[in-house]
Structure 1
Amino acid sequence: MMMMSTAQAATILLAFSATFFVARSAIPEHLVSSLPGFDKPLPSGQYSGYLPVDTAPASKHYRFLHYWFSESLNDPKTDPIVLWLTGGPGCSSMAGYFLELGPILTNASTSDVQLLANPYTWCQNASVIFLESPAGVGFSYSTNKNDYNTNDTRTAEDNYQFLLNFFEAYPEYAKNDFYIAGESYAGIYVPTLADVINKAGTPSNGLAPINLKGFLVGNGCVGNKVGGCGVSPQSIPIAIKFLFGHGIMSEKLYDQLLEACGPSLNKTATTACSKLIHSYMNLTNGINVYNIYEPCIPSGDDIFWTTSNQMVGYTECGSPGGLLTYMNEAEVREAIHVKSEAELGKWEFCASFNYTGNTDSLLDVYPHLIEKYRILIYSGDVDACVPYIGSEEWTSSLGYKVKEEWRPWMLDDQIAGYVTEYDANGFTFATIKGAGHQAPLYKPPQSLAMFARFIANVDL
């Protein structure tokens, strides 16, 4: 990898361009010409609409995914293309656009929705596709209601079919470097999609193979029976170690847990251990699990902006009120070319449908992906939902030789987090200091710096 100084990196990563670009889209009807409530020219070319993902004849398509494509503010002709997937499962990537890394942000107020340009958008040096997946999430839908019973395998296959159709519709981008990114349950979505791409070879539509260069996953799951997500046997020990390390439980209780549950905290089925686990769980009542140092603010309060227009954060006990209001305004839905509320129902932040997580573990998949792609696993270090400890443990468990051991990485002469790099095609684990579950929301400058260095193949 290339190396550059912190000052040089900061200059490259945080430069903000307001230049407006017009794409050479094959779907001109998907062009978003303006957004209600945003009284400035859109910062770059914006495209929103539906693409089919089933393999039925064109006249009989029934499964359609909504995407929002935001062109790079720098040079969309040559800059990388990034697919962003929000997790859940079943949560909308419109949250990624409007609350985290898109070029335009909204606040959480339900009474006075505001739209503001995002100075830390990941679109500074990349064009980003925000995909609502699977069908049933956000504005994505199917005319076959059985499709709302889905799983990880179907999601990966549909996301791959979406990409084939996207690059067929936007062929001018097919040769650009391509990356996948996502957070939370997208820790399943992202690598399973990369695995499908890796195995697929040349697409049947005659285009070149998808030019995947790598992917990055934030505070992500690695399976439903391993790591810090789902019902894995490691999830409780990981949570206990995280909470103790962040001052949420006393040393006395932690010592009692070690004695009752074993040194590895894995004897959770015993009566003594189970009783103490209930004691530690009671300590977390009222804690925002997505960022343990953020307040739990009642629903409806304006929690995204301080007086200096810096994001504060979405809490588990609040709601994305402003986004919920905005996405359900009739003129907004018309502007972004999605179905009306009468046709589709209300847009929801997270969908209620029957989703089966059928990926027990990706630990045997990752070595094949590491051989071919550059991969960054990152964690906001104050997230109790998917604690960094679990991600650090599973990345280390793959057994690769360490190239650089847990060193600080810097932004503006300040420690932005810590990084461990392995001697395996640049495979890297990094933390973002002070960030919660959605790192770009809680620490926008640091998250942008990390992302931009990754796609530029520059060390953190």
Structure 2
Amino acid sequence: MAQARGRLYGLLLLCFSCKWVSTAPTEHLISSLPGQPQVSFRQYSGYINVDESAGTNLFYYFVEAQSNASSQPLALWLNGGPGCSSIGGGAFTELGPFYPNGKGDGLRINPYSWNKVANVLFLESPAGVGWSYSRIPAGYRYNDARVANESLVFLLRWFQRFPEYSERPLFLTGESYAGHYIPQLALLMARHNGRMSRGAAAFGFNLHGILMGHLVETSKEGSDEVDVCIDHELTRYLNHPTVQRALHANLTSLPYAWEACSDIVDYKYEDQLEDMLPLLKDLVKSRVRIWIFSGDQDSVVPLTGTRSQLTTLAHHLRLKTMIPYSAWYANGQVGGWVEAYEESLGLVYATVRGAAHMVPYAQPERALILFSSFLHAQPLPSRSS
């Protein structure tokens, strides 16, 4: 593992000095997905190599905003697990532009897709998840540090392919064990920007905030709350050879089928018990916007634990309460409850009524309202809105 970390740090140093040359990723442009309704926005997908020595290649799926893509922000979405798919979870079950149809041989429109208000990038991480892979067995052994480093390398190299997005406001979003992935990645990005200020890096991340579902992880993420029909339909759809060709996926003929959650990833158990509050404390101090949300019916990570931790964090930092714990509204109904700190809404906790662990799946309209408010640092709608 030490050698693997050494290779990653070497890659990071290489990326710090790279030159940003516009190379249109035409080989990653998706012409159309099988059974896809006609849309006006562009989609891209493919692999980014993050470790040449281990042959570690991470798969991504990227959808431009449905309107004014050139002026909309960029959001990275990560599912958790560790070992669950951001393509299967985020992209095609929760907040992407399409859901599988009833037969699993085509797609239908998601009317509450997050690409209505942002350009959205979905990353399959770590290797062994979805179609991401490594060429050596040791490449599937992970801890939090390795995931964060590889994600940083991925973003640096992704921006090389999409330089027009490099100066956009960037937001890190995700749920469940992404509550580990995101804070650690955000801190690495801050350190990278520090190297840039000293002339050691040629590019800086325009990170504006992080939006995470849950803080406390008590068990491995699963798909038990997802309708078994959509789970079956999606698995059938993504394992079809024509779909994989359209997505530029599985180019090496992996010896296993696509699955929503992977048993291949060998993840360090001790890291799953680490407290993320100290990292969040550092991020709040650095003025990174942090919003945390919970489904009020979540049985995997109950909202009481998350709210208690956020209250403790705000107390330790002596943050001023701007919005006391109160209801927010969606279309005239209570959408959930919210508590906010700092004048700029820099730290916010919100619940989503009627949602379980996978909030955008259970309550897509309310999740979209939450996401849009977060992007613009606007209070969630009140009764008088």
Q: TM-score, normalised by structure 2?
A: 0.84
Distance apart, 1:403 and its partner CA: 2.1
Pick which of 401-410 and 333-342 moved more. 333-342
| Whole-Å separation in 1 of the counterparts to 2:302 and 2:85 | 22
Partner deviation per Cα, 1:85-115 (whole Å, 9 max, x = no partner) = 00111000012111111011115x5x55441
Distance apart, 1:402 and its partner CA: 2.2
CA contact (8 A) 2:34 2:106 kept: no
Residue 355 of structure 1 is matched in structure 2 by 267
The correspondence for 1:403, drawn from 309, 322, 335, is: 322
| Whole-Å separation in 1 of the counterparts to 2:292 and 2:326 | 15
User: After TM superposition, which residue ranges in structure 1, 4 or more long, deviate above 6 angstroms?
Assistant: none
Residue 164 of structure 2 is matched in structure 1 by 172
Q: Give the percent of matched residue pairs that are identical in Structure 1 and Structure 2.
A: 36
How many residue pairs end up in the alignment?
Answer: 346
Residue 105 of structure 1 is matched in structure 2 by 99
Residue 193 of structure 1 is matched in structure 2 by 185
Q: Does 1:384 align with 2:299?
A: yes
The correspondence for 1:159, drawn from 133, 148, 151, is: 151
| Whole-Å separation in 1 of the counterparts to 2:180 and 2:68 | 31
| Whole-Å separation in 1 of the counterparts to 2:242 and 2:348 | 43
Residue 236 of structure 2 is matched in structure 1 by 325
Distance apart, 1:383 and its partner CA: 0.8
CA contact (8 A) 2:192 2:201 kept: no
| Whole-Å separation in 2 of the counterparts to 1:132 and 1:43 | 25
Q: Does 1:214 align with 2:214?
A: no
Cα 1:170–1:205, aligned 2, differ >3 Å: closer, same or farther?
A: farther
In the alignment, structure 1 segments of 5+ residues that lack a partner are 1-23, 222-227, 232-288, 297-312
| Whole-Å separation in 2 of the counterparts to 1:346 and 1:424 | 49
Residue 26 of structure 1 is matched in structure 2 by 24
Which residue identity is paired with 1:217? M
Secondary structure of residue in 2 paired with 1:403: strand
CA contact (8 A) 1:167 1:173 kept: yes
Pick which of 212-221 and 432-441 moved more. 212-221
Q: Does 1:369 align with 2:283?
A: yes
Residue 69 of structure 1 is matched in structure 2 by 62
Residue 79 of structure 1 is matched in structure 2 by 72
CA contact (8 A) 1:328 1:341 kept: no
Secondary structure of residue in 1 paired with 2:83: coil
| Whole-Å separation in 2 of the counterparts to 1:392 and 1:290 | 22
Which residue identity is paired with 1:76? A
CA contact (8 A) 1:328 1:346 kept: yes
Secondary structure of residue in 2 paired with 1:454: helix
| Whole-Å separation in 2 of the counterparts to 1:379 and 1:139 | 29
CA contact (8 A) 2:104 2:236 kept: no
CA contact (8 A) 1:453 1:459 kept: yes
Alignment of 1:55-454 (within 5 A): 56=52, 62-94=55-87, 95-107=89-101, 111-201=103-193, 202=195, 207-221=202-216, 229=218, 314-315=226-227, 320-340=231-251, 342-352=253-263, 353-357=265-269, 358=271, 360-371=274-285, 372-398=287-313, 399=315, 400-423=319-342, 425-426=344-345, 427-454=347-374
CA contact (8 A) 1:52 1:61 kept: no
Cα 1:78–1:386, aligned 2, differ >3 Å: closer, same or farther?
A: same
Cα 1:117–1:319, aligned 2, differ >3 Å: closer, same or farther?
A: closer
Cα 1:112–1:130, aligned 2, differ >3 Å: closer, same or farther?
A: closer
Cα root mean square deviation, aligned: 2.3
Partner deviation per Cα, 1:146-171 (whole Å, 9 max, x = no partner) = 01111111001111110000111110
Secondary structure of residue in 2 paired with 1:365: helix
Q: TM-score, normalised by structure 1?
A: 0.71
Q: Does 1:47 align with 2:39?
A: no
| Whole-Å separation in 2 of the counterparts to 1:105 and 1:351 | 21
Distance apart, 1:318 and its partner CA: 7.2
Cα 1:126–1:133, aligned 2, differ >3 Å: closer, same or farther?
A: same
Which residue identity is paired with 1:42? V
| Whole-Å separation in 2 of the counterparts to 1:356 and 1:105 | 33
Cα 1:43–1:91, aligned 2, differ >3 Å: closer, same or farther?
A: farther
The structure with more radius of gyration: 1
Partner deviation per Cα, 1:259-282 (whole Å, 9 max, x = no partner) = xxxxxxxxxxxxxxxxxxxxxxxx
Distance apart, 1:220 and its partner CA: 3.9
Cα 1:197–1:341, aligned 2, differ >3 Å: closer, same or farther?
A: closer
| Whole-Å separation in 2 of the counterparts to 1:218 and 1:408 | 18
| Whole-Å separation in 1 of the counterparts to 2:282 and 2:125 | 25
| Whole-Å separation in 1 of the counterparts to 2:361 and 2:40 | 20
Cα 1:91–1:35, aligned 2, differ >3 Å: closer, same or farther?
A: same
Residue 303 of structure 1 is matched in structure 2 by none
Secondary structure of residue in 1 paired with 2:129: coil
| Whole-Å separation in 2 of the counterparts to 1:158 and 1:290 | 23
Distance apart, 1:206 and its partner CA: 5.3
| Whole-Å separation in 1 of the counterparts to 2:325 and 2:295 | 15
Which residue identity is paired with 1:152? D
